[in-house]
Structure 1
Amino acid sequence: MAKVLVYQGTDARQGSLVDVFRQVTNGHYDVQTIALDSLSAAPWEASTCMIVLGPTGASDALWQPTGAGSSALAKVQTWVEQGGTVAALGDAASRLSSVIATGGVTSPDADMVVPKGEGRILLFRAANPRPEDLVPRLQSVKIHGSALDAPARRLSPLYATSLTAPLLDAWLQRFMAPCSCTDAPPVWVKEAPTPFAVWYHIPAASVLDTWNTTEALALVAVRPPEWADVARRTPHFRMDAYYDALGAGRARSSAFPWPSPQSFHVSVGNLLIYGDIVSSTQTLLESDRHLLRTCPPGTTIVATHQVRGRGRAHNAWLSPLGCLPFSTTAHLPLHIGNKAVFLQYLAALAIVYGLESAFPAIQGRVRIKWPNDIYAQVPAAQPGSVRLAEGGESRHFVKIGGILVTAVCDGDTFYAIVGCGINCLNDEPTTSIQQLAREAGSTGVSLEACAGAIHAALESLLRVWADHAYSFAPFVPAYRRAWLHSDQVVTLVDAPGAPRRIVGITSEHGLLRTVPVNASVRAADTHAWLAPTIPGAVDVQPDGNSFDLLAGCVRPKN
């Protein structure tokens, strides 16, 4: 997801300014503070849609003619000219106007938008503008802004359902085993950091509307015959439509470009827990050992909004309306826990090929950025997009999704939690699956259709992975077609020297394989992916590293 980065020097009020921009952008962007050194040297350009410069005063290092401030402003100016947006508030507006040519504006006497190259500079007289003053200016430069429609922060009830009633009942029996059942619902499950109040049948709407979620999370069991009864309470996600899509995805699974599974011990999505507003689908599973232990492999939590979603490192995981955030459990034998690195690659394949199977019109436009991001090809450059040369032509890509895998070891079981977020219906802040399909003249995209298709593909992948002793080898051709990096020339920040060329991912340990630029081995060579070693190769771990497409380098994540 695109970021909004707020610079305000050492001003103690910068926290409140971050809060204001989080409010007016309504969860569409990851709003973070940024220090001067990072503004000057970090590779923020590709992931950022707007820089906010708050009031700092003339003595702030940003406005000094030499040092980090000078290089930061030069970097910002170049980024704006290439399509970025800067918002300057209070004294920062006049100082920025003096440093960067803004169409003759040197001391703005009104809020205004000034073109600069391909980008825009927003100038605000006030040091802390009111949301109602910010919103129209943001909207005028295609930054999502709304002071009125922020989703409620109160956590909603969770609805647990399954493909069959016996499966749901079996899970409820395990989940509620520590409890002493009472005649009057709900039944309290107090094994978790946050207790659950469980209704074995759907209660009256008034009961849940007044439930105090700070006391316990409300969890309601919904059996297949009751799907229609709960539809009015879950307007953004229909359970019957999801299971229809899951069945359709499984029916298409024989066409996936990897071997058909030989064993069927893993199912994904048969047990589903849905919440309209949750804290984080990932944290809900990761922090609750009792819930994690009792859920069968492939249990999936889906949400419409997350109020504390998580990404890699310190990134937030955003979920505006139309995004599909979900987390799925995978149980691995403890002795192959080091293979968990492949789960992020399998999840990426599930998103690409699952969505292509459901919506053939988007084929080839949803791609994988190593190690854990999903990008989409767009018709033209836009803020935050990257340009890559493919097949002799220049193409533009934007981020539409991400993957986070976390793990919990408990006894002899390695519990992996695969978290994903994908823009399905929300065209902002970048683009969506619905928009890609619309551009190709296709319709029918829904959250349920996307979820069912992705989960069916992930199920197939996990089965084949286990069949082949948790090797990545069966998926190499599919991954090579879907990723963005074959024979891409990059610089390894932690291994200074001549640029190197990317030729694959090692099938046993999941490392990014690079070779000298003039090496004969190419990404199309099978041994680039399957050989244990290659002369001159440097293999890079995915954990702790990120791929800066704009700068063409692999660098430590921090």
Structure 2
Amino acid sequence: MLQLPEEMGLMSVAARQTQGRGFGGKAGLSPLGCAMFSVQVSVSSRLGQRIPFLQHLAALAEVEVVRTLPGYQDIDRRVKWPNDIYYSNLMKLGRVLVTSTVMGPTFHLLVGCGFNGSNNNPTICINNLVMQHNRECGTSMEALSSAQLIGRTLTSLKQLISAFQERGQRPSCPSTTRDGCTAGPRCVCGARTAPMPTWWASTTKASCRCTLRSRVWSPCRLMATPSTC
């Protein structure tokens, strides 16, 4: 990977994985129907100083490819900071994992992305949401193939990286806000028992680290509310 000329890229697409890797070294589930790919990216400059943003941009790119398709804009898919892809705030649809190597001023990054495209199990998939929308709204949207989703994701990711390199993180804020990212908004926790605590997330520009604060502890599930940048 490190020997590739700068003008060349490298991508691997899998229909099924036998040794999928998840966050923290955990095994990653890879049932048939998942859209899965790894792509090599070399960056310096702005994004090189904000490497954690790359996993967020990759997740945002995957959400954008469906939301920007004519007729598909109401499919409720969101990004949970920094790299999880969700259906509404209910179910996880996928995740991005990034590994990096530094050589001189350049970061060589391997971006792995996997999300439920047409597999009904173990939870829900994008095409389930499309069919559900057709039933509820009387539409006739077609199911999306893994090739469509992956191809559009890569195009969107390239555009987001270029925008970040040129102008920094602020230009991404409108998309981030629209797609329900938890970078900066207040998050209300739905607790089973009273009192219900209110959490809020704050992100530092230097580390992109999200910290949560609460006055009351209680078992809960984070529910992100829209933010403003």
Shorter-chain TM-score tier:
0.7 to 0.9
CA shift, 1:314, in A, is: 2.8
- 1:301 pairs, out of 12, 16, 28, with 12
**Aligned residue number for residue 169 of structure 2:** 472
1:450 maps to 2:160 = no
CA shift, 1:373, in A, is: 1.0
CA shift, 1:335, in A, is: 8.6
CA separation in 1, counterparts of 2:83 and 2:66?
17
- The alignment yields a C-alpha RMSD, in angstroms, of 2.8
Contact 1:404 1:419 in 2 (8 A): yes
Dislocated runs of 4+, deviation >4 Å: 295-298, 513-517, 549-553
CA separation in 1, counterparts of 2:120 and 2:44?
40
Say which SS state the counterpart of residue 119 (structure 2) adopts. Answer: coil
Contact 2:65 2:152 in 1 (8 A): yes
In the superposition, relative to structure 1, how do residues 298 and 511 fare at CA in structure 2: closer, same or farther (>3 Å)?
farther
TM-score normalised to structure 1 length: 0.34
In the superposition, relative to structure 1, how do residues 338 and 467 fare at CA in structure 2: closer, same or farther (>3 Å)?
closer
**Aligned residue number for residue 346 of structure 1:** 57
1:333 maps to 2:44 = yes
1:376 maps to 2:69 = no
State how 1:159-558 maps to structure 2 within 5 Å: 291-294=1-4, 296=7, 298-333=9-44, 337-358=48-69, 360-361=71-72, 363-377=74-88, 397-441=90-134, 442-468=141-167, 471-483=168-180, 485=182, 486-489=185-188, 500-502=199-201, 505-512=203-210, 550-552=220-222
State how 1:48-197 maps to structure 2 within 5 Å: none
In the superposition, relative to structure 1, how do residues 445 and 473 fare at CA in structure 2: closer, same or farther (>3 Å)?
same
Unmatched 5+ stretches in structure 2: 135-140, 190-196, 224-229
In the superposition, relative to structure 1, how do residues 432 and 336 fare at CA in structure 2: closer, same or farther (>3 Å)?
closer
* Letter aligned with residue 360 of structure 1: G
CA separation in 2, counterparts of 1:329 and 1:372?
17
Contact 1:358 1:449 in 2 (8 A): no
* Letter aligned with residue 153 of structure 2: I
Report the identity percentage. 30
CA separation in 1, counterparts of 2:178 and 2:73?
14
CA shift, 1:339, in A, is: 1.0
In the superposition, relative to structure 1, how do residues 516 and 429 fare at CA in structure 2: closer, same or farther (>3 Å)?
closer
* Letter aligned with residue 210 of structure 2: L
CA shift, 1:299, in A, is: 2.7
* Letter aligned with residue 358 of structure 1: L
In the superposition, relative to structure 1, how do residues 506 and 488 fare at CA in structure 2: closer, same or farther (>3 Å)?
same
In the superposition, relative to structure 1, how do residues 465 and 374 fare at CA in structure 2: closer, same or farther (>3 Å)?
same
CA deviations 1:25-66 (Å, max 9, x no partner) are xxxxxxxxxxxxxxxxxxxxxxxxxxxxxxxxxxxxxxxxxx
In the superposition, relative to structure 1, how do residues 403 and 515 fare at CA in structure 2: closer, same or farther (>3 Å)?
same
CA shift, 1:317, in A, is: 1.9
* Letter aligned with residue 340 of structure 1: I
Say which SS state the counterpart of residue 307 (structure 1) adopts. Answer: coil
CA separation in 1, counterparts of 2:169 and 2:142?
34
* Letter aligned with residue 307 of structure 1: T
State how 1:35-50 maps to structure 2 within 5 Å: none
TM-score normalised to structure 2 length: 0.77
CA shift, 1:376, in A, is: 0.8
**Aligned residue number for residue 123 of structure 1:** none
Contact 1:472 1:508 in 2 (8 A): no
Say which SS state the counterpart of residue 294 (structure 1) adopts. Answer: coil
Contact 2:75 2:130 in 1 (8 A): no
* Letter aligned with residue 142 of structure 2: T
CA separation in 1, counterparts of 2:204 and 2:177?
12
Say which SS state the counterpart of residue 440 (structure 1) adopts. Answer: helix
Say which SS state the counterpart of residue 19 (structure 2) adopts. Answer: coil
Say which SS state the counterpart of residue 455 (structure 1) adopts. Answer: helix
CA shift, 1:507, in A, is: 4.5
* Letter aligned with residue 314 of structure 1: G
CA separation in 2, counterparts of 1:412 and 1:436?
43
**Aligned residue number for residue 72 of structure 1:** none
Contact 1:331 1:416 in 2 (8 A): yes
Q: Which has the larger radius of gyration?
A: 1
Unmatched 5+ stretches in structure 1: 1-290, 378-395, 491-497, 518-548, 554-558
* Letter aligned with residue 18 of structure 2: V
